[in-house]
Amino acid sequence: MPKLESMTSIRRFSLALLLAPAIAGAQAIPASTRANADKLLTAALADTLAWHRLAEMTDTYGNRLSGSASLEHAMDWILTGLKADGFANVRGEPVMVPHWVRGAESLTLHTPRETPIVMLGLGGSVGTPAGGITAPVLVVKSFDDLTAHAAQAKGKIVLFDAPFRTDLDPMAGYEATVVYRGNGAVAAAKVGAVAAIIRSIESFSIRSPHTGATRYDATTPKIPIAAISIEDAEMLHRMQERGQPMSLTLKMEAQTLPDAPSRNVVAELVGSEHPDEVVVISGHIDSWDVGNGAMDDGGGAFAAWEAVRLMKELGLKPKRTIRVVMWTNEENGGRGGRGYHDAHKAELGKHVAAIESDNGVFSPDGFRFQGSDNGLAAAQAIAQLLAPIKATKMEKGGAEADVGPIIREGVPGFALDVDDTRYFWFHHSIGDTMAVIDRAEFQRCIGAMAVLAYTLADLPQAIPR
């Protein structure tokens, strides 16, 4: 983890930046904007309120799956805080969200020995009959391996023991492996399996399974699907290789209830010259129903909140409106992002940018940008303001899920890019708690979000689309 420089050297560096002639696309970043961005960064690096608020919210309400009372109670608490901060236009914009509930669940190995296996049902999975499903096990390494052994799958519980791709960087490794979580149930059901189990999509484990959304299709029978830890997946695989007969009982009470009401939480710092032009800064409040959702994505949502609260505290008045959006239902539906798109369709032409943090609030490297080459050039000039915290990376790359629907309409998108080495240790697991959040890293994330949002909102001209 890179060490933060002393405050003195940050100030010296920032002074040099102030004096340097800089160009954002075709336009210079005015000295007043640069000076205010510098003040914001200094304030963020001393910030303690966001950490305490995140701790209080996660300690008090715990995890926040769509449809849960804890999500809505956490949103009420956040709305109260936004009003107390003096934000303008504080509101919850209604959206209906999926409502899946886990219920009680268990997995038991009977042969070659009787023992419980730690498991987590996957989000959206159907349940089992009340007595559970008891069946022998077929372990496969991949979808191709399942095809090769299709004749042996009928009536079995299929375990996909597909290791996380640690030869790739963490996000690419995740994307290469998460197909088993998404498609495992359908693939297993197509060859006659009665249930499916996946090796968790995790890059490290202390026998800690990870959940996440799964999918069914309209033409294949829906079978229950759960995740187990790396350790237990490897054990069952070894048992099969030795020719030891294995049988498991899977019990899951999971069910999908009717859609439930939820909200995107919205608050604004209204622009001083172009109040109708909007910079969205965001993260999502909902989480999976295990752990406390501190990393995914309480930290991102609260970084967005604190970035703008600091502007208010410093008395900054950017030319355009900065709109904090704390999304609902990123994890198992994306209804928050789509709902915002539909509700704000008429004003998307005046959306200058959409920023989201949803890779954890680890040490920031900069941002991934989704937009035009001219937009990227302007964004790269802004990123130089983050040199004091070594977060100047600004490269084309994928945006986050919630802002996706408005970015596809042409709004330039920014995703906070962080050191995600540890992200898939905790992601969607019981381990996602405040203990993951490093205070200094979180402060730098708040600083990066604040400087980007403020500068985008205060430039003489909006960055090019």
How many CA atoms does the CB half-sphere of 388 hold within 13 Å?
A: 29
Binds Zn ion by CB under 5 A, chosen from 105, 286, 358, 402? 358
Which of 72, 105, 277, 330 is catalytic? The answer is 330
Q: Which of 384, 338, 309, 418 is nearest to 87 (CA)?
A: 309
Contact 424, 203 (CB under 8 A): yes
332, amino acid identity? N
Helix ranges restricted to H, 314-438: 335-343, 373-383, 404-407, 423-426
Q: Considering only 25-33, 253-261, 292-300, 417-425, which stretch makes contact with Zn ion by CB under 5 A?
A: 292-300
Interface with Zn ion, residue 289, by CB under 5 A: no
3-state helix, strand, coil in the chain (%, to 5): 40, 25, 35
442, amino acid identity? F
Interface with Zn ion, residue 286, by CB under 5 A: no
Comparing CB distances to Zn ion, the nearer of 301 and 382 is 301
Comparing CB distances to Zn ion, the nearer of 127 and 298 is 298
**Rounded least distance, CB 265 to Zn ion, Å:** 15
**Rounded least distance, CB 284 to Zn ion, Å:** 6
Query: Packing angle between helix 179-190 and helix 170-177, nearest 10 degrees?
Result: 10
Does the annotation count 330 as an active-site position?
A: yes
Contact 429, 210 (CB under 8 A): yes
Comparing CB distances to Zn ion, the nearer of 109 and 325 is 325
Which helix (DSSP H) or strand (DSSP E) does residue 129 occupy? Answer: none
Interface with Zn ion, residue 402, by CB under 5 A: no
State the Cα–Cα distance between residues 366 and 158, nearest whole angstrom.
Answer: 41
State the Cα–Cα distance between residues 149 and 140, nearest whole angstrom.
Answer: 8
Comparing CB distances to Zn ion, the nearer of 132 and 360 is 360
Q: What tokens were used for 419?
A: 């050191």
Comparing CB distances to Zn ion, the nearer of 25 and 334 is 334
Rounded to whole angstroms, what are the CA distances from 439 to 5, 51, 342, 427? 15, 7, 36, 19
**Rounded least distance, CB 216 to Zn ion, Å:** 22
Number of residues forming the site for Zn ion (CB under 5 A): 3
Q: Considering only 13-21, 161-169, 358-366, 423-431, which stretch makes contact with Zn ion by CB under 5 A?
A: 358-366
Q: What tokens were used for 28?
A: 């210079």
Interface with Zn ion, residue 297, by CB under 5 A: yes
Q: Considering only 119-127, 179-187, 288-296, 377-385, which stretch makes contact with Zn ion by CB under 5 A?
A: 288-296
Q: Considering only 43-51, 252-260, 354-362, 412-420, which stretch makes contact with Zn ion by CB under 5 A?
A: 354-362
**Rounded least distance, CB 330 to Zn ion, Å:** 5
C-alpha angle 255/291/251, rounded to 5°? Answer: 35
Interface with Zn ion, residue 296, by CB under 5 A: yes
Comparing CB distances to Zn ion, the nearer of 320 and 422 is 422
State the Cα–Cα distance between residues 239 and 359, nearest whole angstrom.
Answer: 36
Number of other residues whose CB lies within 10 A of the CB of residue 352? 23
**Rounded least distance, CB 295 to Zn ion, Å:** 9
Q: Looking at beta carbons, which residue is closest to Zn ion?
A: 297
Q: Considering only 136-144, 344-352, 353-361, 380-388, which stretch makes contact with Zn ion by CB under 5 A?
A: 353-361
**Rounded least distance, CB 359 to Zn ion, Å:** 8
Which helix (DSSP H) or strand (DSSP E) does residue 117 occupy? Answer: none
Q: What tokens were used for 178?
A: 């998460």
Comparing CB distances to Zn ion, the nearer of 296 and 365 is 296
**Rounded least distance, CB 358 to Zn ion, Å:** 4
Which amino acids are annotated catalytic?
A: 330
- Residues interacting with Zn ion, by CB under 5 A? 296-297, 358
